[in-house]
Structure 1
């Protein structure tokens, strides 16, 4: 091969190396750029938040959120059939530990949450936030489902439910049918905050990660 041919071959080889190096660098840049990773993560979080909100909207339309807010055992001071006030129903869906003969309306809400999130490997906690009796501008919380400490990527969705004085508990232990306005301070998690017909305002809050 003459010198000119060798020069062409060398130039071609160097060009191939430069092209490969540039391609490799661009691939690494796409994978490692924080902006790109953040965009993907934000898209996923937005989708999860939308799904959580949709579940709350559907449940409210079916009367399940109100049922959940009233599914309280006034004797044990927990949600009906829950483990305790620390973990609520824990790994079970909300209202999911009811006896086979019982079919609480809020159990459907819990089954949809498990189908939407648990079956896909996501974890969720569920809380009820309500207005404090001592300062209605502040809220207190009670746990419906606790499955762990949320990660830094957790998303939150809420939906508000208004409880009225004449409403009654929906659990099997229904305080003998007495309305909320007649319950003692230790018989329900929330207190009467309004002299009118409103008893309390509850926000159903789901945290998913």
Structure 2
């Protein structure tokens, strides 16, 4: 009888331990502490606000200098944000603790897809948050279509539709 009681007690302890381990999420971190993830609503809000007031379109079109974005050290910004209202909005919203990439996807003639970067600050870390929005360009928005990265894909007034994705993570 005592042996049966001991076995049942051990099963109860094991069941409680199994339940406790399933209820707790354990993830490895380098510092041993968990960081709060980037607020996805904040990332979406920056895109929505700058798209609504035209600052995002300005950053995508007017800052293009023929072969790169004006002010960038290479073809795109690395280690910094653009020196325009969109870049300022990213910097003010995220602060120094958050790192972000900005990727632009667009259609190519013949229904293909292409992408270019506006900002590249490295590979996204764990817990990266993504948000995207579309920016519709019309012929009147692009003053130098021959050197612009996205080509005119429509015989109508529509020039191209860009998808802008911001990937943000604690850096």
Q: Which has the larger share of helix?
A: 1
Match for residue 81 of structure 2? 93
Match for residue 166 of structure 2? 206
Q: Which runs of 5+ in 1 are unaligned?
A: 1-21, 97-106, 169-178
Q: 2 CA distance for matches of 1:52 and 1:147?
A: 16
SS in 1 for 2:152: coil
SS in 1 for 2:141: coil
Does structure 2 conserve the Cα–Cα contact (< 8 Å) formed by 1:69 and 1:202?
A: no
Does structure 2 conserve the Cα–Cα contact (< 8 Å) formed by 1:129 and 1:204?
A: yes
How many residue pairs align between the two structures? 146
SS in 1 for 2:116: strand
Q: Which runs of 5+ in 2 are unaligned?
A: 1-12, 29-33
Larger Rg: 1
Moved over 2 A (4+): none
Q: 1 CA distance for matches of 2:43 and 2:25?
A: 26
Indicate yes or no: 2:125 matched with 1:151.
yes
Match for residue 100 of structure 1? none
Per the normalisation by structure 1, the TM-score is 0.61
Match for residue 101 of structure 1? none
Q: 2 CA distance for matches of 1:68 and 1:129?
A: 14
Match for residue 10 of structure 2? none
- Once the two structures are superposed, the pairs formed by residues 1-209 of structure 1 within 5 Å of their partners are 29=20, 33-34=24-25, 45=37, 48-70=39-61, 71-74=63-66, 77-85=67-75, 88-94=76-82, 96=83, 107-119=84-96, 121-135=97-111, 138-168=112-142, 179-180=143-144, 183-184=145-146, 187-209=147-169
Per the normalisation by structure 2, the TM-score is 0.74
Q: 1 CA distance for matches of 2:149 and 2:166?
A: 18
Q: 1:69: Cα distance to partner? A: 1.4
Cα RMSD for the two superposed structures: 2.8
Q: 1:152: Cα distance to partner? A: 3.4
Does structure 2 conserve the Cα–Cα contact (< 8 Å) formed by 1:161 and 1:202?
A: yes
Q: 2 CA distance for matches of 1:201 and 1:126?
A: 16
Does structure 2 conserve the Cα–Cα contact (< 8 Å) formed by 1:48 and 1:208?
A: no
